[in-house]
Chains A and B, each alone.
Chain A
Amino acid sequence: MSDTYREKLMLAIALVLAAIYLFPLYWMYITALKSGSAMFATPPAFWPTDPQWQIYGQVWESRNMGRYIWNSVVIALGAVTVITVLGVGCAYVLARYRNVWVDIGLFLILMLQVLPASLMITPIFVGFSQVGLLEYPRLAVILAIAAKSMPFFVVLVRATFMSVPQELEEAALVDGNSRIGAFFSIVLPLARNGILVSAILIFMQAFGEFVYSKSIIQAIELQPASVGLNSFMGPNTNEWNNIMAYATIYVTPILAIFVLLQRRIVSGLTSGALK
């Protein structure tokens, strides 16, 4: 088998897989634009003949999406802030000190990552209700998400810190800086990309978070878009085009961020991972 032939075959396989993987997304976009009858036509149309653009405005108004999206943004930003502020220091320590306790700590952190949200929610709910955190449901969700996503962030950022040579820090110490000064003026700027990328990944996770928000936030006016989407879908729903329009409005900004930053994200992930 010649090399070019092999390459073409690989490319074809990749395209087929990508198509399968992206099909639901494609279906979401075109269903949103279909009219009620076109939606249930057999065979289904793969391209809307009469796109219903006004649907976005209607859904935005009728579902009060502005409020939902705002809540999602508040929760995601809150979680990213908590995780970044606490996680960067943690990752740095885990990157710079090597001993048995650090290894045990790292192992426990990775263990946390394994536990599913649906399992964690019961103890979290009970605990939060006891300390009265449920009075502030968005804060409670922020803390729960932070606890859930922190390990992922710490592991990624630790790898970034490990790729910053220790000698640079030592040079800064000998040059007259303190440990903290060296961290802020040398290590942090060099790890900035990795931290940014990890924070963006966390933001995207938190923006779509559902389990904790659904369980903890009862008041509709505080619920994020993920919960709003869920309550849109009753048992006998047939307004799929409206739901898909909602989903489109919800995910397109995140997709756009990802596409814009994808080169940086991928290089950030690997440059941290390789060293």
Chain B
Amino acid sequence: MTPQIEFSGVNKYYGAYHALKNVELSIKKGSFTALVGPSGCGKSTLLRSLAGLESISSGTLKIAGDVMNKVPPRKRDVAMVFQSYALYPHMTVEENLTYSLRIRGTPKAEARKAAEEVAATTGLSHLLGRYPRELSGGQRQRVAMSRAIIRHPKAFLFDEPLSNLDAALRVHMRKEIRALHDRLGATSVYVTHDQIEAMTMADHVVVMRAGVIEQQGRPLDLYDRPVNKFVAGFIGSPAMNFLPAVGSEDGRSLVVDVGAPQTVPISTNVEPGRKVIAGIRPEHISVVAADSGLMRVAVSVVESTGSMSYITTATRPELAIVETGRTDVSAGDLIGLSFAPQSVHVFDAGTEERIG
């Protein structure tokens, strides 16, 4: 099956600035793809190139099998939800929703009916006569979504659509957008800098840095096998702990340096003496009695939310540990740490690429 969206060898320059570097990305019909990465990494640029709002400098972009490089936005048949929502301020909600239909010459009555149907599914029925300035942030967000779904485009593009909402509404809308996507059988590309949004909503996560796709795949694959230190640190919350380490004599363990050298077993082979970085997720470390476990460390801070306890150690570098439930550890205690050899990720100290 031809992919619904396909970037091959796409580069984008802004003058001398190389904003997208050799992007290879293929998006299946009906999938939900999230683009994540730190600010300025090129997520919006990628999305805007897809919509036709930016032209690509080289490579090919296909939508539903057709080359789109030179096709203007209006002929690409995609719908976009902007971060600022970009609602037309001089039009009512209904006029906003039907704008795209009216341009295509849909008869008035038909457009009106479509608006009413969409409004019913997004809970906007009673607001159709209002102007955008008379709506709350959450309602505006819904109008922006409704405006996108009123026609049946080849793809939905979202550029950080939830970043202006409060935390509770954001969690709620996350589910709603995903449910909408499933119900419409749509193909969605969703830009966010929030990796939790990406992990929870998407089938396919694309991690970008400085214009380069660092890794893409299913959310849990990225979590389980990050290809480099950047992805490892970006995916997962709280972030993975990184410790400088060297391969030990037997080749199956590392000597990590957390103030005092400690030997920890790993599940991959590392040449003796090779400088590496050991990564371990806070939720994979468990606290045990001080005289057992793989490491012995002092506690510097304990924070508890009731359901979770966050422990920070007094080592250098600090280690973060997450325990579910409550903990009887308190600041100043000496504790032991234990973790499975498979949960240690090893990266080369120079290239920061994954080993094993």
Interface string of B256-287 (1 = CB under 8 A from A): 00000000000000000000000000000000
Residues on A with C-beta less than 8 A from B104 are 176
> If A170-B53, A171-B80 touch, does A176 touch B103 (CB 8 Å cutoff)?
yes
> If A174-B51, A174-B80 touch, does A167 touch B73 (CB 8 Å cutoff)?
no
Residues on B with C-beta less than 8 A from A189 are 90
User: What CA separation (Å) do A100 and B187 show in the bound complex?
Assistant: 41
A176–B86 touching, CB < 8 Å:
no
B72–A176 touching, CB < 8 Å:
no
Q: How large is the interface on B (under 10, 10 to 19, 20 to 34, 35 or more residues)?
A: 20 to 34
Residues on B with C-beta less than 8 A from A165 are 84, 86
* CB of A242 to closest CB in B, whole Å: 50
Residues on A with C-beta less than 8 A from B86 are 165, 167-168, 170-171
A171 closest partner in B (C-beta): B86
Which residues of A in the span 158-180 have a Cβ within 8 Å of any Cβ on B? 165, 167-168, 170-178
> If A181-B103, A186-B88, A189-B90 touch, does A173 touch B82 (CB 8 Å cutoff)?
no
* CB of B55 to closest CB in A, whole Å: 13
User: What CA separation (Å) do A165 and B86 show in the bound complex?
Assistant: 8
Interface SS majority for chain A = helix
A59 interface hit (Cβ, 8 Å): no
B74–A176 touching, CB < 8 Å:
yes
User: What CA separation (Å) do A171 and B104 show in the bound complex?
Assistant: 15
Residues on B with C-beta less than 8 A from A170 are 51, 53, 73, 80, 82, 86
B104 closest partner in A (C-beta): A176
A73 interface hit (Cβ, 8 Å): no
A229 interface hit (Cβ, 8 Å): no
B51 closest partner in A (C-beta): A174
A167–B74 touching, CB < 8 Å:
no
Which residues of A in the span 196-239 have a Cβ within 8 Å of any Cβ on B? none
Residues on B with C-beta less than 8 A from A185 are 99
A178 closest partner in B (C-beta): B74
The number of inter-chain residue pairs (CB within 8 angstroms) is: 55
* CB of A134 to closest CB in B, whole Å: 45
* CB of A229 to closest CB in B, whole Å: 43
B100 interface hit (Cβ, 8 Å): yes
A190 interface hit (Cβ, 8 Å): yes
Residues on B with C-beta less than 8 A from A168 are 86, 88-89
* CB of B101 to closest CB in A, whole Å: 9
B79 interface hit (Cβ, 8 Å): yes
Which residues of B in the span 73-104 have a Cβ within 8 Å of any Cβ on A? 73-74, 76, 78-80, 82, 84, 86, 88-90, 99-100, 103-104
Which residues of B in the span 1-54 have a Cβ within 8 Å of any Cβ on A? 51-53
Q: Which residue of A173, A181, A190 is within 8 Å of B53 (Cβ)? A: A173
Q: Which of B73, B76, B80, B82 has its CB near the most chain A CB atoms (within 10 A)? A: B73
B193 interface hit (Cβ, 8 Å): no
> If A167-B82, A170-B86 touch, does A175 touch B53 (CB 8 Å cutoff)?
no
Residues on A with C-beta less than 8 A from B53 are 170, 173-174
Q: Which residue of A167, A175, A178, A190 is within 8 Å of B72 (Cβ)? A: A178
User: What CA separation (Å) do A170 and B81 show in the bound complex?
Assistant: 11
B99–A175 touching, CB < 8 Å:
yes
B147 interface hit (Cβ, 8 Å): yes
* CB of A18 to closest CB in B, whole Å: 36
B89–A190 touching, CB < 8 Å:
yes
Residues on B with C-beta less than 8 A from A172 are 88, 99
* CB of B25 to closest CB in A, whole Å: 20
Residues on A with C-beta less than 8 A from B52 are 173-174
B147 closest partner in A (C-beta): A175
* CB of B73 to closest CB in A, whole Å: 4
* CB of B200 to closest CB in A, whole Å: 26
User: What CA separation (Å) do A173 and B64 show in the bound complex?
Assistant: 20
User: What CA separation (Å) do A186 and B88 show in the bound complex?
Assistant: 7
* CB of B154 to closest CB in A, whole Å: 12
User: What CA separation (Å) do A165 and B80 show in the bound complex?
Assistant: 16
Interface string of B295-315 (1 = CB under 8 A from A): 000000000000000000000
Interface string of A136-168 (1 = CB under 8 A from B): 000000000000000000000000000001011
B88–A173 touching, CB < 8 Å:
no
User: What CA separation (Å) do A39 and B225 show in the bound complex?
Assistant: 98
* CB of A81 to closest CB in B, whole Å: 24
Given contact pairs A174-B73, A186-B88, enumerate 19 new A-B contacts (beta carbons under 8 Å).
A165-B84, A167-B84, A167-B86, A168-B86, A168-B89, A170-B73, A170-B86, A171-B82, A172-B99, A173-B73, A173-B74, A174-B53, A174-B78, A174-B80, A175-B99, A175-B103, A176-B103, A177-B74, A181-B103
Q: List 30 A-B contacts (CB under 8 A).
A: A165-B84, A165-B86, A167-B82, A167-B84, A168-B86, A170-B51, A170-B73, A170-B80, A170-B82, A171-B80, A171-B82, A171-B86, A172-B99, A173-B53, A173-B73, A174-B74, A174-B76, A174-B78, A174-B79, A174-B80, A175-B74, A175-B79, A175-B100, A175-B147, A176-B74, A176-B103, A176-B104, A177-B74, A185-B99, A186-B88
Closest 4 CB pairs of A and B: A171-B86, A175-B100, A167-B86, A173-B73
User: Which residues from chain A sit less than 8 Å from chain B, CB to CB?
Assistant: 165, 167-168, 170-178, 181, 185-186, 189-190
